A = this chain, B = another copy of it.
Amino acid sequence: MRTGTGAGMPQRGAVGAEERIRAAAVRLWSERGFHGVGIRELAEEAGLSSATLYHYMGTKEDLLADVMSRGLRRLVLAAERVTQQRAGAGPRMNALVQLHVLTHALRPRETRVVDGELRALSGDRRGGVMSLRDEYERYWRATIDEGRASGAFRVEAPGMARLALLEMCTGVARWYDPGGPMALSEVALGHAQLASRVLGAEELELVDEVDWCRGLVGEIWSGPGGG
């Protein structure tokens, strides 16, 4: 997808096209996978002809790389904010978890694509996406390390703990049902507590970051796509 339209504000109907295409892709791919959805169906979902699609994107795989990169960049952006605005390993980790869980609960389609379609990317493009993912995970790694150094966390295998926590929190996008019995904030706070247990930091008080995170998610994920 061509990088940017330059102007600061959407001007013509066409401006929304890229956005609509990405939205259609996310909707469809999150449900049936990259290989399970054809270009024609994608075009129909976006309200365009399949030929017009190619005006806005490169190949199908380019579109996937674009969608994944944008999603990951938003995750990175959010994690960066948390690090800037929350000090101390405990509060930071608490916020990171609540943010991750909220993002995955509020944006299950985007996150499922980001998390599950890496294998559909070939060599070169995969590398770029993986390094973005690593960039995101680095916030977790750093915070866990920090907590271990300060004595706030007690974990023997911090790498494994990080992976275990990420898998646990990412899983929310696979099972959370907004119409189900659990309130969103319960899930977020609940996972924050589980994380504190996993990290051996139970005595820490768990600040409720749900509203703040919700605002952050809203700010970062709404709008024309975080390009």
| B198 near A194: Cβ-Cβ < 8 Å | yes
Q: Which residue of B lies closest to A180 (CB)?
A: B159
Of the 9-residue stretches A27-35, A69-77, A214-222, which lies at the interface with chain B?
Answer: A27-35
Q: Is A149 an interface residue (CB 8 A)?
A: no
Of the 9-residue stretches A4-12, A41-49, A164-172, A203-211, which lies at the interface with chain B?
Answer: A164-172
A8 to chain B, nearest CB (A): 26
Q: Is A17 an interface residue (CB 8 A)?
A: no
Chain B residues, CB < 8 A from A164 = 168, 171, 190-191, 194
Number of A residues near B (Cβ < 8 Å) is 36
Q: Is A2 an interface residue (CB 8 A)?
A: no
A161 to B190, CA, bound (A): 8
| A33 near B120: Cβ-Cβ < 8 Å | yes
A168 to B167, CA, bound (A): 5
Q: Which residue of B lies closest to A193 (CB)?
A: B156
| B36 near A120: Cβ-Cβ < 8 Å | yes
Apart from A160-B187, A161-B194, list 5 A-B contacts with CB within 8 A: A32-B119, A157-B190, A164-B168, A165-B168, A167-B167
15 A-B residue pairs with CB within 8 Å: A31-B119, A32-B35, A33-B119, A36-B120, A116-B116, A157-B190, A160-B190, A160-B191, A163-B175, A164-B171, A165-B168, A167-B174, A170-B171, A194-B198, A197-B198
